[in-house]
Amino acid sequence: MLHTVLPLSQPYPNLDCSHRKLVIIGDGACGKTSLLSVFTLGYFPTVSPPPFPSLYLFLLGFCFQKANLHVPAALPTTTCARSLCNYVRRQLLTKYHRAQIPTVFENYVTDCRVDGKSVQLALWDTAGQEDYERLRPLAYSKAHVILIAFSVDTPDSLDNVKHKWIEEATEKCPGVPIILVGLKKDLREDPVAIEEMRKKSLRFVTEHDGEAVARDVGAKKYLECSSLSGEGVDDVFEAATRAALLTFEKGEGGGCCVIL
């Protein structure tokens, strides 16, 4: 899937193509912003590996102690600096209830080609935390496709797809196609994440689990991806663009209307 990107806040060419709007929703900190960043900007929003690993590891231990974060009993010898950075980030998100780290992704328009058709796809990020409940509905206006995201290492985020997000999406955008997306699939093979799940007596959401929920909520498709590795990211947006085109190709004025 070929695409170029422009910030939504900047004017962009009026190309001879279809215009579609994608909105992504889901629990806070499940990985929505990272997914959009990788697709549009080409990089994963995380801390860069340090130039001096030994000094970094010393400072890392100090930060763990000061922040009173859980320190794994043993990190595998293959664990790299990037894994440690991501681990610290997730620990901080958990410790400080995640709501204090709001979504910062700027909405973008990306020019795509799907099935030989040119499409300008506007990407709208949302904050999943309860503090933003009254603001989030504004993003739904004139949406052509909804991505509902959850994290495979957080079973509760999949439960909330059934008990919260599908209800909100169908209420605000009736008839708009929905695609369910499992994020952070790389964590199923991450030694640190596996150990954390074991200590919490939790299990990763399986692909079968996701497919079952997708059927239950009437999603058009279920996909998984890893924003960290990039695996499956393009497939998600290709499927979303195709769903929007197929549903609204008979009328360019489609999209949902939000009444506040």
Q: Read off the pLDDT of residues 160-185 as tens digits, 9 standing for 90 and up.
A: 999 999 999 999 999 999 999 999 99
Predicted confidence band of residue 79 (pLDDT cuts 50, 70, 90): very low
pLDDT at res. 61: 54
Helices (H), 119-230: 155-160, 166-172, 191-199, 207-217
pLDDT mean across residues, the chain? 79
Closest CA to 162 of 150, 172, 175: 150
The topology (CATH level 3) of 3-43+104-248 is Rossmann fold (3.40.50)
Instruction: Name the pTM for this structure.
Output: 0.75
**Domain ranges for the chain:** 3-43+104-248, 53-95
Q: Read off the pLDDT of residues 1-59 as tens digits, 9 standing for 90 and up.
A: 655 555 555 545 545 789 999 999 999 999 999 999 999 988 887 644 444 444 444 45
pLDDT at res. 137: 86
**Greatest mean pLDDT among 77-81, 122-126, 135-139, 181-185:** 181-185
Is the pLDDT at 84 greater than 90? The verdict is no
What's the one-letter identity of residue 112? C
End-to-end CA distance of the chain: give it in Å, rounded: 36
Q: Which residue has the higher pLDDT, 235 or 96?
A: 235
Helices (H), 16-172: 32-41, 53-67, 81-95, 155-160, 166-172
